[in-house]
């Protein structure tokens, strides 16, 4: 990842956090890592639904190639499932919470236009 793409990704994650906060979510963790398993971009909690949400954020500055949501492949899904299990094991206070996996796309169209956000709730489940 280049410095420029890292900055874009970080900026996208900041926008995603703000967006989710406006929807009433409480941010539990950002860029949470578990050893060799990798990292989850955002972990947020919905106190109304008592749902812990693991969020993959995809940020793009161009629509030229694939859409951000198309960048989620089966290996990434499996990694997120394992990371969620690791997070829950490390945070037993959420043992009774329901869990959901969301995808959030942030697109920067340029020309000083605001970012476009697409939030796909319950993008995949823990069912086989």
The CATH number covering residue 65 comes to 3.40.1350.10
pLDDT of 42 higher than 90: yes
Find all residues with CB under 8 Å of 85, minimum gap 6, and list them: none
Q: What is the DSSP letter of 115?
A: P
Which one is predicted more confidently, 21 or 59? Answer: 21
pLDDT of 64 higher than 60: no
Q: Which domain holds residue 108?
A: 3-124
First to last CA, the chain: 32
Q: How many domains does the chain have?
A: 1
Rg of the Cα atoms in the chain: 15
Q: How confident is the model over 46-66, as a mean pLDDT? A: 83
User: Which of helix, strand or coil describes residue 39?
Assistant: strand
Highest mean pLDDT, choosing among 73-77, 116-120, 124-128: 116-120
Q: What is the DSSP letter of 97?
A: S
Burial of 85 (0-12, 13-18, 19+ CB in 10 A): middle
Q: Each residue of 94-111: pLDDT tens digit?
A: 878 899 999 998 988 878
How far apart (Å, rounded) are the C-alpha atoms in residues 19 and 25?
Answer: 9
């Amino acid at each position: 990842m280049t410095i420029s793409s890292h900055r874009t990704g970080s900026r996208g994650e900041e926008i995603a956090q703000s967006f989710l906060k406006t929807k009433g979510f409480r941010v539990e963790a950002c860029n949470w890592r578990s050893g060799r398993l990798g990292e989850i971009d955002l972990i947020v909690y919905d106190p109304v639904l008592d749902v812990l949400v693991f969020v993959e954020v995809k940020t793009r500055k161009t629509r030229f190639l694939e859409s951000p949501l198309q960048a989620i492949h089966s290996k990434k899904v499996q990694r997120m499932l394992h990371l969620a299990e690791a997070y829950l094991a490390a945070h037993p206070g959420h043992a009774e919470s329901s869990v959901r996996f969301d995808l959030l796309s942030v697109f920067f169209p340029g020309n000083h236009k605001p970012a476009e956000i697409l939030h796909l709730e319950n993008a995949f489940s823990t069912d086989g």
